[in-house]
Amino acid sequence: MYQRIVVPYDRSDRSWTAVQYAKLLADHWGATVEVLHVEEFADGVTMADISHAAERAGWLYGVEAALVAPEAGGVGETIVKHVAEQADPLVVMSTHGRGRSAALLGSVAEVVIRQMSGPVLLVGPAADPSAFTIQGPLIACVDGSTDSETVLPTVGTWAESLKVDPWVVLVTGTGHDTERDMLASGYTTRVAKRLRADGAAFEPQFEVLHDENPGAAAVEFAVRMGASMLGTATHARTGLARIRSGSVAMEIVHDSPVPVLTTLID
C-alpha cells in the first residue's frame, strides 16, 4: 500500500514512539521506514545516531535515516517538501496534540496535515507502545456532517489493506431523546452501508455513543474495542480560528493511546 513511511524525529522519546508504530505498518506492507531529522547539520544529531537507535531496537533492516537542514518556511514545510520527493509516502509523526492551546504554541503536525495531499498518522502524548497493534478494528469518528465523512474513504482503504473491520462511531449528547437516537442510528447505518457498497471485503460496524465530550467518548470506545487506530477528519485550523472553534480531532490525538489517522477537510 505504501512503499515508504517517513517519521519526523526530534531526538525525543515521544518522536521515537512514532517510529515504533511505523515499523509495525512497514513490516505488514513491506515498506521502508525513513527516520527524518530536520536540524542544522553542525549542531544536530547525525545519521549514525539514528541508525544506532534503530539497531538498539533490533531493526537491522528496513530502517533508513535522513538528516535535512530546515528551509525558510520552517520545520513543517521542510518535512512536507522532503516527503513530496519520495515515492508513495506515508507520514507517521508524534505531536503534543494540545487541542486549543496548539493555536498559541504552534504545531508542526498541523502544518504537515494542511500541506500533505494524503492522510497523516499522528501519535499523541498518551500513546502507549505496549498497546500498539495493527490487528484491532479501525474506528472512524463522524459527527453527522459531510465534512466529518471525509475520513471514510481513507478508513475503508486502510481497513481493507490491514484486513480489519472498520467501525463508524457517532457521539451524541446524554439524556433520553427518542427522535435524536433514531436519527443517529439511521445515519450511522447509512454510512456503514455506504462503506460496504464500495466493494470492500470487510464488514463495517457502527455505534452511537452518548456523551457530552465526543473526543473522550471516542477514545474510550477505541480502548474498549482494542482498536488499532482512530480515524478523524480535521480542518487543521490554527490561530484565532482554532481558539473559537476548538478541535475535537486534536483532543482525540491528545488523549488516545493508539495512533490517529487524520485527513484534511478542504
Element (H, E) at 142: strand 138-142
Q: Cα torsion for 142, 209, 252, 7, to the nearest 10°?
A: -70
pTM for the complete prediction? 0.85
Q: What is the pLDDT of residues 106-143, one digit of tens each?
A: 478 888 888 888 899 999 989 988 889 999 999 999 98
Measured distance CA(105)–CA(192) in Å, rounded:
37
Residue 41 has pLDDT above 60, yes or no: no
Q: What is the mean pLDDT of residues 252-264?
A: 92
Measured distance CA(230)–CA(255) in Å, rounded:
11
Q: How confident is the model at residue 216 (pLDDT cuts 50, 70, 90)?
A: very high
Q: What is the pLDDT of residues 164-177, one digit of tens each?
A: 989 999 888 776 67
According to the model, what pLDDT value does residue 119 have? Answer: 93
